[in-house]
Amino acid sequence: MRRAIAALCCFMLLSACDRVPLSPVTVYVPTEFEEQAKAWLPESGLAVTVIAGDSAANTDLIIAKQDSPRADVLITSGVLDVWNAAENSALRPISSESFENVPTVFRDPDRFWAAIAPRNIIIGTAPGLEIMGVIDLHKLAAPELKGKVCLSSSSRADNRALIAMLIAEMGNRPAERVVRGWVRNLARAPFASESELVESLRTAECVYGIISSATDTKGIWPIELATGYYNIRGVGVARHAQYPDAAQELVDWMLKHRPLAEPLTSNSLNVGRAGWFDEEARLLAERAGYR
């Protein structure tokens, strides 16, 4: 009996020695999401290592296979980066059953990426303003609003995505007329950051501004648009993940534990169109003088 027990113990010890311990799932995240990711992702029960950096730079590293340590999961600050990763074969399809529960406008038709946090475009207004009539993106281009509109830089991801979605929805020329109207109505040159734009609304230096719903709107009046235009925080599983099974498990957990509802307002266009039309959006902004 003792010999049998001893033999069993030896077998268990040898088996344990033969197992290779799994390293933590390595997740590349944008810098602004670092603290949230470190607090949230361990709730999955998986060991997670968070690598933070600029979203576009992270994506470029993974595309070029120069990410070290090797990424298992990529989380991006906008749709363009996760779309670029998919287009450059840096992601593998998401196998999660929870993927099907993501609204179709917020997920890749080929399953390479999905949204974990959408944000929509809204119009911010100076406090105490009496709104007359409908205020929407087209109205901001109307001649009567000359000198009352402010924007943040066209290089910002949300603004580029918005212009790209307008192109996808309306076509190049109609979208350019709208953007040119915004530029003609500017109260001052576009701000480098959205926080500067919001502050100018708080002080009534600007009357109207195009901002993201993720922005702190304290002190200003936000107006939801009748048609929703979105950007997303995207997630995908790296094609060259060291631990693809664990990566898929983590992404499944993310999609399951923060389910997204169907948007109340939408133009029904998949948010990935912002990737397809990004170059056209850049050129349109340049032609319109929107810096």
Question: Are 185 and 280 within one domain?
Answer: yes
Domain that residue 170 falls in: 119-229+275-288
Of the pLDDT bands very low, low, confident and very high (cuts 50, 70, 90), residue 264 is confident
- Regarding whether 248 and 221 lie in a shared domain, the answer is no
Looking at the structure of the chain, the number of domains it has is 2
Within 8 A by CB and 6+ apart from 281, the residues are 160, 161, 163, 164, 167, 274
In this structure, the answer to whether residues 235 and 112 fall within a common structural domain is yes
Instruction: Give residue-wise pLDDT tens across range 231-261.
Output: 999 999 999 999 999 999 999 999 999 899 9
Where residue 97 sits, what CATH number does that domain have? Answer: 3.40.190.10
Residues 130 and 193 in one domain: yes
Q: Could you give the percent of the chain with pLDDT greater than 90?
A: 84
Could you tell me if 65 and 124 lie in one domain? no
Higher pLDDT pick, 116 / 2:
116
Q: Is 47 in the same domain as 141?
A: no
Residues 160 and 51 in one domain: no
Q: Contacts for 37-42 with beta carbons within 8 Å, 24 or more apart? A: 37/75, 41/250, 41/254
Residue 18, in any domain of the structure: no
Q: Report the alpha-carbon distance of residue 272 to residue 289 in Å, rounded.
A: 25
pLDDT per residue as tens digits for the range 141-193:
999 999 999 999 999 999 999 999 999 999 999 999 999 999 999 999 999 99
| Alpha-carbon span 232 to 110, nearest angstrom | 17
- 5: pLDDT strictly greater than 70: no
Task: Give tens-digit pLDDT for 86-115.
Answer: 999 999 999 999 999 999 999 999 999 999
Residue 10 lies in a domain: no
4 lies in some domain: no
Q: Is residue 33 part of a domain?
A: yes
Return the structure tokens found at 199: 């502050």
Average pLDDT value over all residues in the chain: 91
CA 94 – CA 114 distance, rounded (Å): 9
Tokens coding 139: 């109205």
pLDDT in tens, 149-163: 999 999 999 999 999
Res. 22 pLDDT band, cuts 50 70 90: low
Contacts of 276 (CB under 8 A, 6+ apart): 83, 164, 168
Regarding whether 128 and 202 lie in a shared domain, the answer is yes
| pTM for the structure as a whole | 0.89
Residue 113 Cα to chain centre, angstroms = 11
**Is residue 109 reached through a cis peptide bond, with omega within 30 degrees of 0 on the bond before it?**
no
Across 20-37, average pLDDT? 87
